[in-house]
């Protein structure tokens, strides 16, 4: 990994994305709160939003439609407080670690109204070429997808 | 039902709401399209959006949080075309029929990109007071909630 | 359509399947009942169970894995009562109508404990060959899949 | 914590539960595999099954219906392989740690057909009295719920 790339990765690690998610009634459960399963969807929204705002004209959705699979290898999530129907939540996302095999994203999920922290998440993802089911070099993918190295 | 109310109901029937929904990756299935179950969520978004834009300062979400239950009595949905990950969909909603026991909503769901009709839905809903589990007069609820009769 | 086939279809229409579904906590919503969306999943279980018990050694799951897509064209569902966490539900399924383009299934969903009817469903499905996205003749599919005509 | 209780807890830690889950078509995503979110549901099935088989006549479902809330504090899940529609999965569950505030469960999720490990999960849960929203002593709950100490 060259010095130039380290510099590029430094820039990736500084990017912060914030997205807003509206909680649906069917996200709740009989305890009256958002079921823990649904936070998987919320930080996935954060991942998509981060990738879409990372500096490339193509949306990650279109890249995925074109045959790049994005899998999840590991999730570590700590639930700090409960949210309810009618709340809006804020997902703050950033890249925590970049490896050749995977990228780890860190997400913090807040209730918009009172900024109460709902959950902290580390999620490690990998990328595969669905045509041959081969793992894609994650750092290469990030560089290619974002074209951030063109500008360095 | 008085003449004045009929007039109010006429106004309800003319209200059209349009809301936009982003399709999530987990809305898809192994056929590569949005699973038919998820359209229940999309027209529910249309219902919430319509109620929130019907002319009352309180959000339907807050009314529901305060102990009004909103149940579904009947759904008739015809699927016309398939949507995929990365698509945005548009839900057009209006009130089709108002009874004392229920309100029927009509929704048309389109793909935003090319305006292709994805689904047509009639959904009949009722309202209950969760404190005593008693059915609320739906037309009264609509008038009270929207306060449209204040202005007539 | 030959007389023999009509006879075969008569036999299809007489087949009744019953399957049992355990309600999960995440099937509930903040009203304390099963969210209306989840009934789509329950009668889908009924469809799979009916197809798996219709007289063919291959499971419908394996047919679908092999490239036959099974889409939903229309759902008409009436909700009669509410179910809660901890309940088991019973899905009774039968074929209601067989066309060249589609098959309509009828499902009745009960609470196991007290046999209370929860919902009645008509669901019209079509079958496509995912290799070329061409519609498969539904009655042919039923005959081929079930091999019921071999025995006539 | 008395010696007798430590002995009881030793017995809890030795209990292993195995439950079988059928994968639904709507559990899949456009990559053709089970979406990572759905494993939250599978190990939740494992939790329910373990609690239902731990030695008490009352089902955990009924305890929850009676006003005991069961929340999730932390999930650590590692995905090892992918499952597909038509697969059955096996969830092996056991108690890993018992604290006064929480209980940590360990789950291993396998594909039934070939015993391939799909995911490993640690999930920490707490119990609250929904009448006053007060945290219940988890070890007391386990003893009361299971009545294992009656037999010691």
> What are the domain boundaries of chain B?
3-146
Show which residues on chain A lie within 8 Å of chain B, measured between beta carbons. Answer: 24-26, 40-41, 44-45, 48, 59, 61-62, 64-65, 84-86
Residue of B nearest to C120 (CA): B74
CA-nearest residue of chain C to A24?
A: C29
Residues D65/C86, Cβ–Cβ less than 8 Å: yes
Q: Which CATH architecture has domain C3-146?
A: Roll (3.10)
Q: Do C25 and D45 touch (CB under 8 A)?
A: no
Residues of A in contact with D136 (CB under 8 A): none
Of B44, B73, B76, the CB nearest to C79: B73
B79 vs C73: CB contact, 8 Å cut-off? yes
pLDDT band with cut points at 50, 70 and 90 for residue C12 = confident
Residue A113 gets which letter from DSSP?
T
Model-wide pTM > 0.90: yes
Task: Supply the mean pLDDT for chain A.
Answer: 88
Long-range contacts of D59-68 (CB under 8 A, 24+ apart): D59/C86, D60/D145, D61/C85, D61/C86, D62/C86, D63/D145, D64/A30, D64/C25, D64/C85, D64/C86, D65/C84, D65/C85, D65/C86, D67/D129, D67/D130, D67/D131, D68/D127, D68/D128, D68/D129, D68/D130, D68/D136, D68/D141
Closest chain A residue to D81 measured between Cα atoms? A73
Give me the residue from C24, C59, C84 closest to D65, CB to CB: C84
Cβ-defined contacts of D50-54 (< 8 Å, 24+): D50/D15, D50/D17, D50/D93, D50/D94, D50/D95, D50/D105, D51/D145, D53/D15, D53/D17, D54/D12, D54/D15, D54/D17, D54/D145, D54/D146, D54/D148
Structure tokens at C88: 């088991």
In tens, the pLDDT along A73-129 reads: 999 999 999 999 989 999 999 999 999 899 999 999 999 999 999 999 999 999 999
Task: Find which of C48, C60, C61 to mutate to test the D interface (most D CBs within 10 Å of its CB).
Answer: C61
Percent of residues, chain D, with pLDDT higher than 90: 64
B146: confidence class by pLDDT, cuts 50, 70, 90? low
Q: Could you give the count of Cα atoms lying within 13 Å of B95 in the half-sphere of its Cβ? A: 22
Residue A43 contacts residue A79 (beta carbons within 8 Å): no
Which residues does chain D have with pLDDT short of 50?
1-3, 148-152
What pLDDT is recorded for position B152? 38
Chain D residues whose CB is inside 8 A of the C84 CB are: 65
Q: Which residues of B touch A (CB under 8 A)?
A: 24-26, 40-41, 44-45, 48, 59, 61-62, 64-65, 84-86
Cα–Cα distance, A138 to A142 (Å, whole number): 6
Name chain C contacts of A32, Cβ cutoff 8 Å: 30
Q: Which residues of B touch A85 (CB under 8 A)?
A: 61, 64-65
Distance (Å) from the alpha carbon of A59 to chain C's nearest alpha carbon = 26
CB contact under 8 A, D64 and C86: yes
DSSP assignment string, C47-112: HHHHHHTSS-SS-HHHHHHTTEEEEEEEEEEEE-S---TT-EEEEEEEEEEE-SS-EEEEEEEEET
**Partner residue opposite A40 with nearest CB, options D30, D40, D74:** D40
By three-state DSSP, how is residue B38 classified? helix
pLDDT band at A2 (very low <50, low <70, confident <90, very high): very low
Mean pLDDT for C4-16 is 80
Q: What is the pLDDT of residues C110-134, one digit of tens each?
A: 999 999 999 999 999 999 998 898 9
CB contact under 8 A, D25 and B35: yes
């Amino acid at each position: 990994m060259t010095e130039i790339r380290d510099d590029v990765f430094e820039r990736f690690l500084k990017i912060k994305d914030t997205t807003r998610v509206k909680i649906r009634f069917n996200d709740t459960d009989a305890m009256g709160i958002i079921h823990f399963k649904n936070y998987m969807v919320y930080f996935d929204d954060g991942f998509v939003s981060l990738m879409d705002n990372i500096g490339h004209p193509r949306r990650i959705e279109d890249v995925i439609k074109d045959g790049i699979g994005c899998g999840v290898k590991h999730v570590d999530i700590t639930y700090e407080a409960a949210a309810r129907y009618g709340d809006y939540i804020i997902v703050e996302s950033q890249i925590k670690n970049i490896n050749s095999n995977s990228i780890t994203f860190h997400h913090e999920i807040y209730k918009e109204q009172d900024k109460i922290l709902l959950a902290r998440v580390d999620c490690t993802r990998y990328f595969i070429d669905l045509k041959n089911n081969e793992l894609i070099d994650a750092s290469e993918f990030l560089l290619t997808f974002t074209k951030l190295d063109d500008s360095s």
